[in-house]
């Protein structure tokens, strides 16, 4: 089955990557919107997802702007761009924005078979998100555990960084991180317990 899928993927008709390497001319409007957003004083990941969604909604099929947004969100995913600057985001807002963007990308993936490979790459740059308060509930549960076990966060340590991540981008993986950290603490600091 895997071999059949690989053959199908190689035979799949698709648009080539944009020939030009000049985003200033190929996707000037998209690039201007991205640069205007990133130049703002206050930025959040949820707002980035909203701007990306608005840009992607308007793109015609075959637009090189798709590749520009892909590179932008890939830089964000790799944390080369600030996820939060001078503004806080509730996890529920972030998870709703992520879900709206991922649903749009999934829809475009099915509607535009010639661009499917680019939309799939884009989908890998966006967390799944949710429409409920799952992100807030995960964060609240983990903060409760931190308080119960008197886990202090100090400037620059793992707990402080993870606590900030909980504020910015809570995911179900955080539950496993919490469980692993508790195992580490129960074992008196044995790193192999931190699976």
Average pLDDT along the chain: 80
Q: How high is the pLDDT of residue 180?
A: 86
- Residues facing 43 on adjacent strands: 85
Confidence of residue 27 (pLDDT cuts 50, 70, 90): confident
Burial class (CB in 10 A: 0-12, 13-18, 19+), 127: buried
Please tell me the pTM assigned to this model. 0.68
Tell me what the mean pLDDT of segment 11-29 comes to. Answer: 65
pLDDT at 26 over 90: no
Asked which of 6-10, 31-35, 74-78, 119-123 is least confident by mean pLDDT, the reply is 6-10
pLDDT at 45 over 80: yes
Evaluate the CA torsion angle 19, 25, 29, 32 in order and state its sign.
positive
Q: What percent of the chain has pLDDT over 90?
A: 28
Closest Cα to residue 27, out of 48, 58, 49?
Answer: 58
Q: How high is the pLDDT of residue 129?
A: 67
Who has greater pLDDT, 23 or 178?
178
Q: How high is the pLDDT of residue 54?
A: 97
Q: How high is the pLDDT of residue 158?
A: 75
Who has greater pLDDT, 95 or 129?
95
> Which tokens in the block code for residue 104?
């749009």
How far is residue 63 from each of residues 51, 88, 124, measured CA to CA in Å? Answer: 17, 33, 19
Confidence of residue 126 (pLDDT cuts 50, 70, 90): confident
Helix (H, G, I), strand (E, B) or coil at 12: coil
Cite the DSSP H helix spans in the chain: 2-11, 23-26, 28-38, 45-58, 65-77, 91-111, 116-123, 134-148, 158-168, 173-186
Confidence of residue 160 (pLDDT cuts 50, 70, 90): confident
């Amino acid at each position: 089955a895997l071999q059949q899928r690989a053959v199908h993927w190689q035979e799949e008709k698709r648009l080539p990557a944009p020939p030009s390497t000049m985003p200033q001319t190929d996707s000037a409007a998209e690039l201007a919107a991205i640069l205007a957003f990133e130049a703002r004083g206050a930025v959040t990941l949820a707002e980035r997802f909203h701007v990306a969604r608005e840009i992607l909604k308007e793109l015609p099929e075959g637009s090189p702007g798709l590749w520009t947004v892909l590179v932008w969100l890939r830089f964000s995913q790799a944390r080369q761009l600030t996820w939060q600057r001078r503004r806080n985001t509730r996890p529920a807002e972030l998870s709703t924005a992520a879900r709206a963007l991922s649903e749009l990308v999934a829809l475009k993936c099915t509607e535009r078979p010639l661009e499917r490979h680019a939309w799939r790459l884009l989908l890998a740059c966006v967390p799944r998100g949710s429409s409920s308060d799952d992100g807030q509930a995960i964060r609240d549960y983990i903060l409760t555990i931190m308080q119960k076990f008197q886990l202090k966060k100090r400037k620059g340590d793992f707990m402080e960084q993870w606590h900030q991540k909980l504020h910015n981008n809570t995911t179900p993986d955080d539950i496993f991180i919490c469980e692993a950290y508790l195992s580490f603490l129960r074992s008196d600091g044995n790193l192999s317990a931190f699976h």
